Structure 1
């Protein structure tokens, strides 16, 4: 098959959703398919700005970005992800149909890319919408919902997203769970002998719950003064972070695996909502017990009382209480960690790829036009 994936932009640092798309592109190319991952220079989002002045300024920026790569399609690389040499990584001025190659299959990602793909001619390929989150954090609900109700074939990564789309549109959608790369994330340190270190992803987006997570860590520190924490992310170290917490910006893969995940006994996820929660699954594969909010995405692989503790979102005290219970019970923590490894082993790239190929190759007549 000739397959086109569309991502909203080419980023300088890692993104969870982008990483999954690139992983699939690599695996599909290895299997002999022709794959292009295409990124627009602009999505023309100027109309979402609140004031006339901001709309005008944003439109000017959008037009400048559009003109910067006109009229050719540029080939480039992903700076943070090794790509199969057969995968074409392209940047185009915008997602207008004339810049999109003909293909057998085209796969949209972010809601705004789906708005474009829905209206492409049939020569661009059978239309799929790869839904990795309920993206009201990046666009107005009525437009996000509009893409979820569209006629495109939809692929979701988690059970809660499948239920959400069914409630919104009545559609039965395909579910392909995100994989973890077991060649990249695995146990390198004994889970039984790990010190009291907690790791956590930091993101400046409020819905990622970083402030809640840090508050919980500070509360836990009062009971266990020897507690250490390692936060990591793509942003610069936030000003509000206490000095005792280590922060690693853009950690290399080996550092993330060995020093952060394997250097931790517990991984905490304080997000209010997650489409999936890939770092949680990566930490599980590296032998971490989990403390997480009930954020939707992690329901598919974090089982309360089995490999972690699940608490309500936006409740730092509940997060802290859960952390304290595991910090005080090393035997229970190690048992949770062992179970995490077992559960993570089920999420393989090959299993997810097989499901994805089945969906993309299905008889077009069986799906929506």
Structure 2
């Protein structure tokens, strides 16, 4: 089987990690796998065992399967023209969910190009995969679309518990991603509020500091608490990674965490954008050692279910079944 992934770039983003983790494991299983992106240059931050080629080369050779996940006009057009037996749109995020059900391209196109190509991709008749349960539910309930759930995993070679050294004070870690939807400003405000009760709190971030991937377990493991306050996400990699590293987790109650983060069981959850609620959860964590220990133990057990090898095996099964169905109807 020949499988092509079409990406807009190979930069350090959660969606790209997902594709590379799958591409690596498909390659390991004997699937002829190629990742196409505009420059065709190797990935600089993570190993990629699949072939990497410039996007334009996709049109020069036939594929059994072409998979894309970013709803932009370039990738949409490229996939539509690619010689392939099966086209797959892997939904990693829905972005403007409030617009999608009643979206009218002629009205929204100038300001909402991503939503335009999201809806075009969803309506193209391709096989739809989703990377979180809430996405599958939304597509079915709000848009009447059938999709297949393909949950991802956590790379245990990179993200795992490490021996911790005692901290001075109480170290709270967040990614520090400056994009507004990531909620970093909410975290900073919540920490300032929490310091009124717990002045020993100090806040650290890792975004933009060039930390090599093989050192991320050490970065997570040095924290007493990880806080993630995204307003929306298809799947939340930092929260899952922190949980896999055995770090107590406070996060916002969004679809992107609900497959693994359960309030009072594996994490403490707060409504998105609710700074006082996030602050209250932080204070509870600081003041209750037993709570942190209980959530960490349950979190490690929960996140263990998410495994890239199982995801890759499931993807191969889905693709083979879909190709057989296409052949039967040819």
TM-score w.r.t. structure 2 length? 0.87
Aligned equivalent of 2:280, options 311, 321, 324 = 321
CA distance in 1, matches of 2:235, 2:150: 11
Instruction: Name the CA shift for 1:139/1:271 in 2 (closer, same or farther; >3 Å).
Output: farther
Q: Who is 2:80 aligned against?
A: 119
Aligned equivalent of 1:36, options 29, 34, 37 = 34
Contact 2:68 2:89 in 1 (8 A): yes
Aligned residue runs from structure 1 range 1-369, under 5 A: 1-11=1-11, 14-40=12-38, 75-84=40-49, 87-92=50-55, 98=59, 101-112=61-72, 115-116=76-77, 119-120=80-81, 123-136=83-96, 139-189=113-163, 196-234=170-208, 249-258=209-218, 260-364=219-323, 366=325
Work out the number of aligned pairs and report it: 313
Shift of 1:190: 5.3
Please state whether the residue corresponding to 2:3 is helix, strand or coil: strand
Instruction: Name the CA shift for 1:270/1:147 in 2 (closer, same or farther; >3 Å).
Output: same
Measured against aligned partners, the alpha-carbon deviations of 1:23-49 in whole angstroms (never above 9, x if no partner) come to: 1111111111111100125xxxxxxxx
CA distance in 1, matches of 2:142, 2:77: 20
Shift of 1:255: 3.0
In the alignment, structure 2 segments of 5+ residues that lack a partner are: 98-111
TM-score w.r.t. structure 1 length? 0.79
Please state whether the residue corresponding to 1:133 is helix, strand or coil: coil
CA distance in 2, matches of 1:327, 1:340: 18
CA distance in 2, matches of 1:106, 1:191: 46
CA distance in 2, matches of 1:40, 1:308: 39
Instruction: Name the CA shift for 1:136/1:227 in 2 (closer, same or farther; >3 Å).
Output: same
CA distance in 2, matches of 1:299, 1:192: 31
Please state whether the residue corresponding to 2:283 is helix, strand or coil: helix
The CA RMSD over aligned residues, in Å, is 2.4
CA distance in 1, matches of 2:235, 2:228: 11
Please state whether the residue corresponding to 2:203 is helix, strand or coil: strand
Instruction: Name the CA shift for 1:346/1:296 in 2 (closer, same or farther; >3 Å).
Output: same
CA distance in 2, matches of 1:83, 1:140: 27
CA distance in 1, matches of 2:36, 2:281: 42
